[in-house]
Structure 1
Amino acid sequence: MNMRFLLTFVWVARLGSFRLTAEKLSSTQAAISSRISVLEAELGVQLFQRDSRGVSLTREGHNVLSYAQEMLATQQRLLQSLGQADTFSGRLRIGVMDTVIHSWLSELINALSREYPQVEVELTADTALNLNEQLLKGQLDLIFQTDLLRADGVRNRHLACYPLRWVVASGTPLDRPYEGLAALCQERILTFSRLSRPHQDVLNYLHQQGVSAPRISCINSVAAIIKLVADGFGIGVLPPVLVSRELSNGSLVELPMCAGPGFSVYASWRVGAGLELNEAVVSLAQEVVADYQRAVAPGHLVLPKALD
């Protein structure tokens, strides 16, 4: 039995789409359909029901799926015993939030190119909410975002904590002492996109401190927040690691006031037969984040004490 055809079958079952499977396996929809037809003819059963909404497993398909996953897992263990399991290839679809793009993503891509040169990386930048949805739909393999995602077939690993600071343009009217958070929040506050984890955490912290109606402007681009803060448009509530250069050259300064507990970044990825690359890349990301943390200013990025 052709193991590549079994892998194709497993991916069609996961994604519910010949088109998405073709994109994932760097093939064509016609080739995917042909592999499934050959497999159905060989097994003598219909594996999928096809309709306008996509494809779904038949009763026989559900039965075959468990055996197919077991066979693929056995193949992986065989390769591991021969020392060949780390020779990864194919397409890896990674989703990232803006904070990761502006911190350690470049280092991760360089490490991926070095460690797994035969892997083609496809990047999607979006909010954590949208990335979670795309992962659950099978449109992404691995995401880096702020939410602990609890779902069948998905694992999470805590990678880093990003402290938050109040940041203003040096020498502007906003660069002055404030009597407290209430006085500070009379100015325009610039923070992350609405309903994001950092935005919600900032609102909760201010509410706990008795500030019920802050002037908050939500922006879904870190680069835009930094530019507006630098132009004196408002006070940014940002992880200092994202503005380390501006803090070093003095164009931006931190205000000596607590901005809340900060937020965490997690890796969330799909698990199962044929998805071993995801786990390997998460482990590589841990190493990259640890190296990055040692290179930035103390306290600007915090590693978790224990992995989830």
Structure 2
Amino acid sequence: MALRADWLPALTAFESAARHQNFAHAAEELHLTASAVSHHVRKLESRLGVALFQRHARGVSLTAEGRQLADAAGTALADVDGVLRSLRGARDDEGRVRITTLHSLTYTWLLPRLPAFTQAHPGIALSVDTEIALTRFDDGGPDLGIRHGPGHWPGLTAHFLMDEALFPVTSPEYAAAAGIGGAADLTRHPLIADHARQGWHDWFRAAHVHGAKFEERYTFSDTTDAMKAAAAGLGIALARSWIAVPYLQGGELVRLPVPSMPARWGYYAVYPAHRRLRPAAQVFLDWLLDTARDG
């Protein structure tokens, strides 16, 4: 027997009634009346020539035939609903860009600039992931990422965004009391470090302070926390130029009168080399490149 389209309302009503074992609850779920649900079920029973429910004073219960049909109808309708949700989700995702990046760069550089992107492209939604672990670009994963490094990663296309410099910073109150006049003076103060590949050893070498003995009293996994620690007066942190901007502008941190060091690595926008970016992701990448170029 071929399934005709006019069977679908009756099957939908029956499947809901079978799940609830109650016509009134099924009616509420389907925005129908209980009598309409009952009518659909009786129509289905008439067409099939079997009783699907046993009706009694306390309500209804499925017959053996009803249980068999309920199992099949429930599975089929769930499958259809899953496909519909997937199709709707795929349509909705066309306008969403998934980005993976660093928490510190998101907080200090990306977020202050995102209102300009949203104003220019109000139809594009963004999902930003700032997990510490290096994200893999699997199917269903991020569209693109912002990475800090040498600029080449296996299997990824990389677009240069910006370089940075490293320089010591501390809170204004600490700086006023520290009496620092040169790079060697920093060895007498508690230093704040993060897990970046370049740190205080590199900076002292670049500042020509050789064989320096110093104490990295505080170490943080994220540069944002290192900046906050310095702003709290815990000591002196080695700041990255783009990450330090809001702290310097807000007066939470000040640069010390000592040399700056060019960073060995920069920031890059990356995505899988084998996969063309979706239109919305390409729009975001173009904006990202223009914004980084403007500073």
1:150 aligned residue? 153
The offset of 1:121, in angstroms, is 1.6
* Alpha carbons 2:167, 2:240 under 8 Å: kept: yes
Q: Which of 263, 270, 286 is the aligned partner of 1:283? A: 286
TM-score (norm 2): 0.56
* Alpha carbons 2:99, 2:145 under 8 Å: kept: yes
- Secondary structure at 2:262 match in 1: coil
For these two proteins, the number of residue pairs brought into alignment is 205
- Secondary structure at 2:255 match in 1: strand
User: Does the alignment pair 1:99 with 2:104?
Assistant: yes
2:192 aligned residue? 190
Q: Which of 160, 163, 174 is the aligned partner of 1:161? A: 163
Distance 2:224 2:127 in 1: 22
Q: Greater Rg, structure 1 or structure 2?
A: 2
Letter in 1 for 2:125: E
Instruction: Write out per-residue CA displacement over residues 247-277 of structure 1, whole angstroms, 9 at most, x where no aligned residue.
Output: 3565532111124213421111124455243
* Alpha carbons 1:104, 1:289 under 8 Å: kept: no
Distance 1:212 1:104, change over 3 A: same
* Alpha carbons 1:155, 1:269 under 8 Å: kept: yes
* Alpha carbons 2:109, 2:243 under 8 Å: kept: no
- Secondary structure at 2:153 match in 1: coil
* Alpha carbons 1:201, 1:260 under 8 Å: kept: no
Distance 1:215 1:30, change over 3 A: farther
2:238 aligned residue? 237
Instruction: Write out per-residue CA displacement over residues 117-168 of structure 1, whole angstroms, 9 at most, x where no aligned residue.
Output: 44332110133xx23x43368632211121224222x211111122222112
Distance 1:258 1:283, change over 3 A: same
How do 1:195-274 and structure 2 match up within 5 A?
A: 196-197=196-197, 200-207=198-205, 209=208, 210-211=210-211, 214-216=214-216, 217-244=218-245, 246-248=247-249, 250-262=251-263, 263-272=265-274
Aligned alpha-carbon RMSD (Å): 3.6
- Secondary structure at 2:258 match in 1: strand
* Alpha carbons 1:174, 1:234 under 8 Å: kept: no
User: Does the alignment pair 1:31 with 2:34?
Assistant: no
Letter in 2 for 1:109: L
Instruction: Write out per-residue CA displacement over residues 271-301 of structure 1, whole angstroms, 9 at most, x where no aligned residue.
Output: 445524334322210222234x2xxxxxxxx
- Secondary structure at 2:136 match in 1: helix
TM-score (norm 1): 0.54
Unaligned runs of 5+ in 2: 1-79, 88-92
* Alpha carbons 1:89, 1:120 under 8 Å: kept: no
